[in-house]
Structure 1
Amino acid sequence: MGDLISSIAWVKRGVSARHPSKQQLNDADIERIKEIAHVELEDARTELERANSTAQAMDKRHEESDDNDMTGDHDDDDDDDDSAWVDEPMDEDTSGEGSIPKRNGDLSEYKLDTYDEDDDGPASTLGPFTNIKGLQFYRDNDDDPYVTLKEDDDELEREENEVLPTDNLLVTAIVEQNVPQLHFFVYDESTEYLGPHHDLLLSSMPLCLEWLDYPISSTASAMDTGDDLANSPSQFGNYIAMGTMDPEIEIFSVDLLESVYPDLVLGNPKETAAHVPESAGTGKKKRKKTKHRAVSEKHHVDAVLSLSWNHAVRQMLASGSADRTVKLWDLSRDQKEGAFRSFEKLHKDKVQSVQWNPAEPSVLLSGSYDRTVRVFDSRAPNASVGAIVGADVEAIRWDPWDNHGFYVSLENGMVVNFDARTMPSDLNQPSPARFTIAAHDGAACALDINPHIRGCLATAGTDKMVKIWNVQGDESGGKRQVSLVAGRDLGLGEVFSAVWSPDDPLTLAAAGSKAKLQIWDVGANFGARKVFGQRLAEAGRALKEKKSGGVIGIADDEDDEDDDGDDED
């Protein structure tokens, strides 16, 4: 597994706690973790037993093969070699320390030079002449007025972890040196600073991320390092939901550092241990396969590929999985009950992407590797409409400026726009697209619609390019005019994720196969300012002057590049 970033999620300004907390586990948390860890331990024990049995069988075959190849001549040779080795006497070292010659007059062994120096051991400090009454003992260094280093370290850590109201946080799902992690970055648009904040180790490769503000009813407690959590309204939270190669959905608090386990797990680990391989086939060489599990209404049984949070009905989370199902999760319910609703008949292959309609909270859009897209009301899924798109679906997005329009990016590099009102319920009937964009030479992996500027579209793909498009036309359904505004290779390798900022109109975050995060200030491009400047002015927004020239990398990386440039000069 190579290094890569599979997904990016923005956190809006003013949402994060100014001083994040450290997690403290209570008895309920420990019991919850024990239950999860027990399942993982049983999986590991099962796999270890299989590996041991396979190794023992291989050793037995090797021993039988060696016995057949052995001859009497070999035995005689071995006996001769053994007797020769035993009969050979060992050389005895008769020289000792006393035999080492010394120079005349060498008195170093008596340490006369340090004879009159006092020892600094405990005996000298606690001797009979020590003023014991003047000693004081503090159980905590924080109570000792002479110990200030720890307080300084805590204050420094508090300042380093501070998130200002003008800061955005970005969360990346990254695999680095075969270690899956969540990396959190802080971005200050005014100073063009992008730097690391904290990270979390994961147990499985992350595939998708979704931010949500619904307060998770977890029993986890926090060691508060400030007064932000105490004063924050309880009806809002700051969480990141994550889908991985495992069937469960894990939800972490963004405001907690050093999280040991997720605040909430959607799914049943006891029932969804589909990732444990089992041996199959016969013969000396064993091959591994993933155990296929029957589809369940209560939980996924394969990797979770996509997540979408409902901004209107805030406790609802939708998920699409490689098990070919779409599931709805009610975060306000006891998760032991499983998924709130499950849709198994929408698609015949992996569900790559799902998204709620921002204008109609009950309507879902889904796209699959079966080369179809579906639009359906979650209250009546049998009345769905859809279309065949001709290639595997990579990403889907509702147009926030058009209640019924949406975009689909495909594996063949095309981006297609549909009107859900004109789509048939029968996939065998034609469903013409409103327009098509030949966006990339390879798969168009990433797609996002600008929430601040109408008709501003971002795409990215395996051709390593990130492109900005301008879509104009008759709002009543007439012919659209599509033009490429800007395109750039940001040095990210194949680009898997590109997401517009929720706060700044022309700020785009992108990442890909080089496990590198970049911020592209599209407003630094003259063509983008010319095309979108008027629309920004009409919306009451303005572009600010930037010093970076358009691309902002992580602060540490920029320092390294500057040093390299100085060396070359």
Structure 2
Amino acid sequence: MDEVKGKNSQIFCLTWVKRGVAKLEPDQVILTPEELKLVMKNEKLQDIEEDADSEEDENDDRKIVIKVGPEKSHSDEEDLQEYGLENYDDEKGDFTTGISGLVMFADNDADPYITKKSKSDSNINSDSEDESAEKSAVQLKPDDNLLVCARCGQHSSVLEVYVYNHKSGDFYVHHDIPLLETPLCMQWVGFDPGAENMNSGNLLAVGNFNGTIDIWDLDVLNSLEPVASIGKGKVSKQRRKIDFRHADAILDIAWTDVVHDQLASASADTVIALWDLELGKATRVFRDHKNKVQTLAWMPKSDKHLLSGAFDGNIIMTDTLEIRTVAQWTIDGEVERITWNNENSKYFVASCDSGFAFYCDVRKPTEFIHKWKAHEGAIPGLFLNQSDSKNNSCLLQTASSDGLVKLWDLNFDKPKLVHEKDMKMGMVHCCEGNPDENSVVAFGGQKGQVRLWDLAKISETAKYFDLPEQVNNINSDVTLISPISGDGEEDDEVLKYIQGEDYIKPNKINKFSKQNGNHPNGSGDSKKKKRKRKKKTSANQSIQNKKSLI
């Protein structure tokens, strides 16, 4: 897999994991050589079966007569002889290629990279200092949050799992997961059909460019593949029926804790689908939109109302139980993002590619409470902070491709701009608030950077949060937190912008991250080249935007 570097990668989507959800001691995938051979064999057999199913499906409506020579009989074992698996343990060649480079060995004696054994030349005790250090490195604290982001490069993509601790200020990469598909959206899912308590899961649903949804277990390190992939649409041999699958890229997915086993997906094929996570199949399909559906969100505390927005400017609220359209709005431009007011589910905010934002009331279809020009570029990031119990104000954050993040108070005759900031990360693609710390928001952008912003440390916005002790001695220019690069340095321009007495520099990057030593946030450019870099994004850089993929 090609290395993913900051200058060639972008962050299109990210999501938080609540405190207390992740295992404090994550599980690890450890395969013996025998198990590794079995995995390779099963993968080959599965590929053969899928190819056969695909050929049968293509020939269903055609009668083809093919004359062949004498048929040779081969067993599965014979088919695998070309790989020489029976001599796998005896090989002394290059161990740096193949799937074996991605797994951990059951003991150090079996690891070809470990040449220095213990004094007795026996297995190293499991309680050795090295293993204790490894366990300590991956252990989580009860008050840790996880932040997962999808880093997309020109030739490869990876999921990065960060740890953030609000009390200590720690923010570092815990581990990462290499991806075979291009991720466009993600959603944390608190459901695990394989657990005793199915509502206690820590899964991540990732919507891909190829129209499938991969489910990853965030409590497992060194994962080789997702725990499940839905939407592949396999052919049922008994019924000769093809399960539903999206015909184009997955642009957004949404999950609600009201119905734990249900996931909604929006696709560039104009279709919205509801998936049963336990069965891995679509249960309902909605075709109300006539253009690509880019965003969707469940109404808070509702098990049936789903809001969606499309490229043609239509926003539709659907009753998923009665399968009907409840309300509809039309805006000028492509709908970029929608988000609900979690404290009052009668209201939601929508944004479009022309820089306009819309505040709407579900009781007044076709109408807008507010419509205003928020940015000069598209607004792919929206987040509404929960209001303080002592302050009924509603604080909206808009993140734009113009590089700016703006904060708006919606409790006026017209939206009031409270604060704005240039994030110094090119186009800002996404933002999401911490579910446990209301004032902390994460941002992902064009330059492959991930940043946190604590709004409680800004003098203009501190009043919106129940943290009066932080109002004094606040500097609004030093509120960004950013993970360090592999060499422990940030861009000079960025450091000048965010460094200060309130800036918390992360002090560790976990060695379980595959980018350790060359973290993808490090661009690798010389300082001289960075100073010459233009602020305005060139056309060649902009073509990597998510829309260019679809």
* Contact 2:255–2:262 (8 Å) recurs in 1: yes
* Contact 2:199–2:260 (8 Å) recurs in 1: no
Partners of 2:473 and 2:203 lie apart in 1 by 32
* Contact 2:233–2:243 (8 Å) recurs in 1: no
The counterpart of 2:286, out of the listed 343, 352, 358, is: 343
Letter paired with 1:183:
E
* Contact 1:499–1:508 (8 Å) recurs in 2: yes
Letter paired with 1:141:
I
Specify the alignment match of 2:232 in structure 1: 268
Tell me the SS of whatever aligns to 1:421. Answer: coil
The counterpart of 2:190, out of the listed 195, 206, 213, is: 213
Partners of 1:237 and 1:32 lie apart in 2 by 27
Matched residue count: 416
Specify the alignment match of 1:450 in structure 2: 385
Larger-Rg structure: 1
Matched, 1:327 2:273: yes
Partners of 2:473 and 2:160 lie apart in 1 by 29
- State the Cα deviation string for residues 239-280 of structure 1 (Å, max 9, x = none): 111001011100101111111111111112657xxxxxxxxx
The counterpart of 1:396, out of the listed 311, 334, 338, is: 338
Specify the alignment match of 2:356 in structure 1: 414
The counterpart of 1:386, out of the listed 295, 306, 328, is: 328
Letter paired with 1:214:
F
* Percent identity (aligned): 28
List aligned pairs for 1:335-374, cutoff 5 A.
Answer: 335=280, 338-344=281-287, 346-374=288-316
The counterpart of 1:19, out of the listed 20, 25, 31, is: 25
Letter paired with 2:225:
Y
* Contact 1:418–1:434 (8 Å) recurs in 2: yes
Partners of 2:474 and 2:258 lie apart in 1 by 35
List aligned pairs for 1:137-536, cutoff 5 A.
Answer: 140-142=123-125, 151-176=128-153, 178-217=155-194, 235-268=199-232, 270=234, 298-332=244-278, 334-335=279-280, 338-344=281-287, 346-423=288-365, 431-453=366-388, 454-473=393-412, 480-530=413-463, 532-533=464-465, 536=466
Q: Which runs of 5+ in 1 are unaligned?
A: 46-135, 219-231, 272-295, 424-430, 474-479
The offset of 1:559, in angstroms, is: 3.6
Matched, 1:553 2:482: yes
Letter paired with 1:194:
F
- Given the two structures, how large is their TM-score scaled by the length of structure 2? 0.69
The offset of 1:35, in angstroms, is: 6.5
Tell me the SS of whatever aligns to 1:339. Answer: strand
Letter paired with 1:18:
L
Partners of 2:457 and 2:206 lie apart in 1 by 33
Q: Which runs of 5+ in 2 are unaligned?
A: 1-6, 56-118, 236-241, 497-526, 529-550
Give RMSD over aligned pairs.
3.5
CA shift in 2, pair 1:270/1:313, >3 Å: closer
* Contact 2:191–2:198 (8 Å) recurs in 1: no
* Contact 2:233–2:244 (8 Å) recurs in 1: no
Partners of 2:41 and 2:49 lie apart in 1 by 13
List aligned pairs for 1:102-141, cutoff 5 A.
Answer: 140-141=123-124
Partners of 1:524 and 1:457 lie apart in 2 by 17
* Contact 1:311–1:358 (8 Å) recurs in 2: no
Tell me the SS of whatever aligns to 1:560. Answer: coil
Which structure's residues are more often helix, by fraction? 1
Letter paired with 2:329:
A
Between 381-390 and 165-174, the greater mean CA deviation after superposition: 381-390
- State the Cα deviation string for residues 440-491 of structure 1 (Å, max 9, x = none): 1010111111135450111111100011111115xxxxxx442111111121
* Contact 1:415–1:438 (8 Å) recurs in 2: yes
The offset of 1:439, in angstroms, is: 1.1
Partners of 1:351 and 1:459 lie apart in 2 by 20
* Contact 1:175–1:205 (8 Å) recurs in 2: yes
CA shift in 2, pair 1:166/1:558, >3 Å: farther
Partners of 2:291 and 2:411 lie apart in 1 by 34
Partners of 1:39 and 1:5 lie apart in 2 by 36
